[in-house]
Amino acid sequence: MATVTFDNATRVYPGTERPAVAGLSLSVGDGEFLVLAGPAGCGKSTVLRMLAGLEEMDSGRVLIGGRDATAVPAKDRDVAMVFQNYALYPHMSVADNLGFALKIAGVPDAERAARVREAARLLELEEVLDLRPQALSGDQRQRVAMGRAVVRRPQVFLMDEPLANLDAALRARTRAQIASLARRLGITTVYATHDQAEAMALGDRVAVLREGVLQQVATPHELYARPANQFVAGFIGTPD
């Protein structure tokens, strides 16, 4: 587990004028579930990618567990990212999909099997461990994608609109599972969504971005009660 701190982080993509993320300063507490919220294009994915080490920063720093991680390569950051377009290995069983990263990392068989079992239990995938992804429902596949992050026991979870491919009913159910999973594991989580209902339901706190600029970071209750400006009020007041 770890804290995450952005210190004046800025990213300007080559060939563009407006920063995708501008002067972001934000701290996420140890074990906190922080939601990054705002409309498409506001910079959510860029923030996650900077934290994962998949995107350069033009200025500023990012700290993970109090250590400056700005120059640390992605593979050494101990963060695990779950994307919207999860890709499972179609020719492997669920168990092998879950254990693949550990196998690559050279984790011994017995420990790998134990961690896969634990992830399967947490994610209610025990019944489908021997199946191939094509035999699974959409939400089961999504849970396998999350399970692949869980088995790694990262210091930080990053989730980039992980529910975007699910229909409304499944989204609500999976949302509840994610919330309970993250809290049970106690892993610091940064979760991006454009969906205000999802943001308000999931976040210990919600950070609202507009055109790369942080507008407010507060608990859902505080955002409703005291939105910092019209943009925040409009964002949280507008159903998806």
Q: Least distance from C-beta 44 to ligand ADP, angstroms?
A: 3
Spell out the long-range contacts of 39-43 with Cβ–Cβ below 8 A and sequence spacing 24 or more.
Answer: 39/194, 39/210, 39/235, 40/194, 41/211, 42/209, 42/210, 42/211, 42/212, 43/11, 43/209, 43/211, 43/212
196 binds ligand ADP (CB under 6 A): no
Please select the residue that binds ligand ADP; options are 44, 77, 171, 175, rule is CB under 6 A. 44
> DSSP string spanning 94-117?
HHHHHHHHHHHTT--HHHHHHHHH
Angle of helix 168-185 versus helix 109-122 axis, rounded to 10: 130
17 binds ligand ADP (CB under 6 A): no
Return the range that interacts with ligand ADP (CB under 6 A); candidates 34-42, 65-73, 143-151, 173-181: 34-42
Please select the residue that binds ligand ADP; options are 2, 26, 46, 79, rule is CB under 6 A. 46
Q: Are 22 and 212 within 8 A, CB to CB?
A: yes
5 binds Mg ion (CB under 5 A): no
Q: Which is nearer to ligand ADP, 46 or 140 (CB)?
A: 46
45 binds Mg ion (CB under 5 A): yes
Please select the residue that binds ligand ADP; options are 40, 71, 110, 225, rule is CB under 6 A. 40
Q: Which is nearer to ligand ADP, 13 or 83 (CB)?
A: 13
d(C-alpha 158, C-alpha 93), whole Å: 24
Q: Least distance from C-beta 105 to ligand ADP, angstroms?
A: 29
83 binds ligand ADP (CB under 6 A): no
Q: Are 188 and 4 within 8 A, CB to CB?
A: yes
13 binds ligand ADP (CB under 6 A): yes
Rule CB under 6 A: which residues touch ligand ADP? Answer: 13, 16, 20, 40-46
